[in-house]
Amino acid sequence: MALIGKRNRLLIVRTAPPGFFLDGGTHGEILLPGRYIPSGEMPGGMMEVFVYRDSEDRLVATTETPYASVGEFAYLQIVSVNPRIGIFLDWGLDKDLLLPIRELGNARVRPGDRLVVCVLLDEKSDRIIASARLSRHLDLTPPAYADEQPVKLLIAGETPLGYNAIVNNAHRGLLYKSDLARPLAVGETLDGFVRAVRPDGKIDLTLERVGYRRIAPLTEQIFEALRVRGGRLPYHDGSPPEEIREFFGVSKKAFKQAIGALYRDRRILIEPDGIRLVPADGPETEGSTGSRSRR
């Protein structure tokens, strides 16, 4: 049976002037308009299509891919606003996606604005709609994520502590501002990691691996950068986070942990104006400044 709002692999049943008719199972035959038919396809073959309802409420198929399928979250642009019906969103298909007024919440919007929404199948009408009431469509049960598990993130909003993110199209997590080297934007998609799952099911997130697996590769990156740049770099634990992110691509917290590990291993000296390699004949007894100079 064809799944509405999903990609399906369907059998080509027959041809007709409008296009191909595909086997939709209990939904009957579903039209794939001629403009979407690739050359060489014939009845008896199988096609990958997305199934949805057209402006006349008929099931149709397309070879195009929307920005989000049923069960997924996306950051979509508002095409038009009808105060009685709802918001129409551009989701990458010819027919705009309706966000009914009841699913908007208290947000005030206008054409051109963007919203983070969930794409869902309305149980009453069997139509694909959008909802901006995100909490209703997130899984609030404690997830079985492992610490440091890679996850896909969609930034859904900003809070005093940080940024709410939708995790793997299923759960809500939090990225703390104190762990970030730059502000994030609502609608931004990122690769992240699970820092921890709390007993209440809330998820703490990070954009970098924590612990040794993050620090170990970074220490070698810093050491190699020192080696190829004459043994000295103008970065230290007092450098602005933006400068560290621009040069190394990591947060200041990760950088400080890495240079701390290099210092403890007697591979670098940390000075007020930067870091430098320990000379080949061993740590200096004089010439380096600050309380972290080797003796």
Residue 238, pLDDT score: 86
Residue of 73 and 253 predicted with greater confidence:
73
**Alpha-carbon separation of residue 58 from 61, 187, 209 (angstroms):** 10, 31, 48
Residues 128-145 have pLDDT tens digits of 999 999 999 999 888 999
Detail the DSSP E strand segments found in 94-252.
Answer: 97-100, 114-121, 128-131, 150-158, 162-167, 171-176, 189-197, 203-206, 232-233
Provide the pLDDT confidence category of residue 290 given band limits of 50, 70 and 90: very low
Overall pTM surpassing 0.75 (yes/no): no
Whether the Cβ atoms of residue 163 and residue 190 lie closer than 8 Å to each other? no
**Assigned architecture for domain 73-136:** Beta Barrel (2.40)
Correct CATH for 150-206 of 1.10.10.10, 3.20.20.70, 3.90.1570.10, 2.40.50.140: 2.40.50.140
What whole-number distance in Å separates Cα of residue 28 and Cα of residue 8? 14
Q: Same CATH topology for 7-62 and 212-277?
A: no
Q: Which fold has domain 212-277?
A: Arc Repressor Mutant, subunit A (1.10.10)
Residues 59-98 have pLDDT tens digits of 999 999 999 999 999 999 999 999 999 999 999 998 999 9
Q: What is the mean pLDDT of residues 192-216?
A: 78
What whole-number distance in Å separates Cα of residue 254 and Cα of residue 235? 13
For the chain, domain boundaries: 7-62, 73-136, 150-206, 212-277
What DSSP string describes 61-78?
EESS--S--TT-EEEEEE
Q: Domain spanning 7-62 has what CATH number? A: 2.40.50.140
**Which residues is 154 bridged to in the sheet?**
166, 189
**Alpha-carbon separation of residue 72 from 117, 118, 167, 168 (angstroms):** 9, 6, 11, 9
